[in-house]
Amino acid sequence: MNLTPSEEIIMHFIWKREKALMKDILNDFPEPKPVKTTVATMLKRMTEKGFISYEQIGVKRVYYPLIKKKDYSSKRVNRLIQNFFDNSAAQLASFCTRENDLSKDELEKLRSIIDEQIKKKS
Protein backbone atom coordinates (compact mmCIF):
# COMPACT_ATOMS: atom_id res chain seq x y z
CA MET A 1 0.00 0.00 0.00
CA ASN A 2 1.11 3.54 -0.70
CA LEU A 3 0.80 6.84 1.07
CA THR A 4 -0.72 9.83 -0.70
CA PRO A 5 1.54 12.89 -1.04
CA SER A 6 -0.28 14.55 1.89
CA GLU A 7 0.10 11.43 4.02
CA GLU A 8 3.80 11.32 3.17
CA ILE A 9 4.19 14.84 4.54
CA ILE A 10 2.62 13.75 7.82
CA MET A 11 4.75 10.60 7.84
CA HIS A 12 7.89 12.74 7.58
CA PHE A 13 6.73 14.79 10.56
CA ILE A 14 6.19 11.61 12.59
CA TRP A 15 9.55 10.11 11.55
CA LYS A 16 11.29 13.34 12.54
CA ARG A 17 9.65 13.45 15.97
CA GLU A 18 9.46 9.66 16.48
CA LYS A 19 6.25 10.24 18.48
CA ALA A 20 3.79 13.04 17.88
CA LEU A 21 0.51 14.40 19.13
CA MET A 22 -2.02 15.85 16.69
CA LYS A 23 -1.06 19.37 17.83
CA ASP A 24 2.62 18.64 17.06
CA ILE A 25 1.74 17.50 13.54
CA LEU A 26 -0.45 20.55 12.96
CA ASN A 27 2.34 22.83 14.22
CA ASP A 28 4.82 21.23 11.80
CA PHE A 29 2.77 22.30 8.79
CA PRO A 30 3.66 25.65 7.23
CA GLU A 31 0.98 28.28 6.79
CA PRO A 32 -1.73 27.92 5.70
CA LYS A 33 -2.18 24.94 8.00
CA PRO A 34 -4.71 22.24 7.14
CA VAL A 35 -7.81 21.95 9.30
CA LYS A 36 -7.65 19.55 12.21
CA THR A 37 -10.36 17.24 10.83
CA THR A 38 -8.42 16.77 7.58
CA VAL A 39 -5.27 15.74 9.46
CA ALA A 40 -7.34 13.47 11.73
CA THR A 41 -8.79 11.74 8.67
CA MET A 42 -5.33 11.23 7.17
CA LEU A 43 -3.99 9.85 10.46
CA LYS A 44 -6.90 7.41 10.59
CA ARG A 45 -6.19 6.22 7.03
CA MET A 46 -2.47 5.91 7.74
CA THR A 47 -3.29 3.79 10.80
CA GLU A 48 -5.62 1.58 8.73
CA LYS A 49 -2.91 1.18 6.08
CA GLY A 50 -0.46 0.01 8.76
CA PHE A 51 2.05 2.85 8.47
CA ILE A 52 1.47 4.31 11.94
CA SER A 53 -0.15 3.42 15.21
CA TYR A 54 -0.92 5.32 18.37
CA GLU A 55 -0.92 5.06 22.11
CA GLN A 56 -3.99 6.42 23.84
CA ILE A 57 -3.03 8.61 26.80
CA GLY A 58 -6.21 9.98 28.35
CA VAL A 59 -8.03 11.75 25.55
CA LYS A 60 -4.86 12.26 23.50
CA ARG A 61 -3.27 9.96 20.95
CA VAL A 62 0.49 9.75 20.58
CA TYR A 63 1.25 8.63 17.02
CA TYR A 64 4.38 6.69 16.10
CA PRO A 65 5.68 5.05 12.90
CA LEU A 66 5.38 1.33 12.23
CA ILE A 67 7.68 1.48 9.21
CA LYS A 68 11.20 2.88 9.14
CA LYS A 69 11.91 5.82 6.88
CA LYS A 70 14.76 3.90 5.22
CA ASP A 71 12.49 0.95 4.39
CA TYR A 72 9.77 3.19 2.95
CA SER A 73 12.29 5.23 0.96
CA SER A 74 13.84 2.05 -0.45
CA LYS A 75 10.45 0.80 -1.68
CA ARG A 76 9.62 4.19 -3.21
CA VAL A 77 12.96 4.44 -5.03
CA ASN A 78 12.67 0.87 -6.30
CA ARG A 79 9.19 1.65 -7.69
CA LEU A 80 10.61 4.79 -9.31
CA ILE A 81 13.39 2.76 -10.94
CA GLN A 82 10.90 0.15 -12.18
CA ASN A 83 8.34 2.64 -13.49
CA PHE A 84 10.58 5.29 -15.07
CA PHE A 85 14.01 3.78 -15.67
CA ASP A 86 13.31 0.30 -17.09
CA ASN A 87 14.31 -1.29 -13.79
CA SER A 88 17.85 0.09 -14.20
CA ALA A 89 19.53 1.91 -11.32
CA ALA A 90 22.27 2.91 -13.77
CA GLN A 91 19.68 4.79 -15.86
CA LEU A 92 18.49 6.57 -12.71
CA ALA A 93 22.06 7.53 -11.80
CA SER A 94 22.68 8.74 -15.35
CA PHE A 95 19.51 10.81 -15.26
CA CYS A 96 20.40 12.33 -11.88
CA THR A 97 23.91 13.28 -12.92
CA ARG A 98 22.93 14.68 -16.32
CA GLU A 99 19.67 16.43 -15.49
CA ASN A 100 20.78 18.07 -12.25
CA ASP A 101 23.45 20.69 -11.91
CA LEU A 102 25.65 18.67 -9.54
CA SER A 103 28.81 20.29 -8.27
CA LYS A 104 32.20 18.67 -8.78
CA ASP A 105 32.21 17.83 -5.06
CA GLU A 106 28.83 16.06 -5.31
CA LEU A 107 29.99 14.08 -8.34
CA GLU A 108 33.17 13.05 -6.53
CA LYS A 109 31.12 11.90 -3.55
CA LEU A 110 28.97 9.80 -5.87
CA ARG A 111 32.09 8.32 -7.44
CA SER A 112 33.42 7.48 -3.98
CA ILE A 113 30.16 5.73 -3.03
CA ILE A 114 30.18 3.74 -6.27
CA ASP A 115 33.86 2.80 -5.87
CA GLU A 116 33.14 1.62 -2.32
CA GLN A 117 30.28 -0.57 -3.53
CA ILE A 118 32.43 -2.02 -6.30
CA LYS A 119 35.09 -2.99 -3.73
CA LYS A 120 32.45 -4.76 -1.65
CA LYS A 121 31.36 -6.79 -4.69
CA SER A 122 34.94 -7.85 -5.57
| Claim to verify: residue 10 and residue 60 sit in the same structural domain | yes
87 φψ region: left (φ > 0), alpha (ψ -120 to 50), beta (else): left
Q: Indicate the pTM of the whole model.
A: 0.80
- pLDDT over 90 at 9, yes or no: yes
Predicted local confidence at residue 8, as pLDDT: 96
- pLDDT over 90 at 105, yes or no: yes
Whether residue 75 is contained in a domain is answered as no
* Cα–Cα distance, 29 to 46 (Å, whole number): 17
- pLDDT over 90 at 1, yes or no: no
| Claim to verify: residue 12 and residue 58 sit in the same structural domain | yes
Residues with Cβ within 8 Å of residue 16, at least 6 apart in sequence: 28
Choosing from 32, 65, 98, the residue where a domain stops is 65
Whether residue 70 is contained in a domain is answered as no
**pLDDT digits 0-9 by tens, 51-90:** 999 999 999 999 999 999 999 999 999 999 999 999 999 9
Boundaries of domain holding 40: 5-65
Residue 38's domain is classified under what CATH number? 1.10.10.10
| Claim to verify: residue 60 and residue 89 sit in the same structural domain | no
How are the residues of the chain apportioned to helix, strand and coil, as percentages rounded to the nearest 5?
65, 10, 25
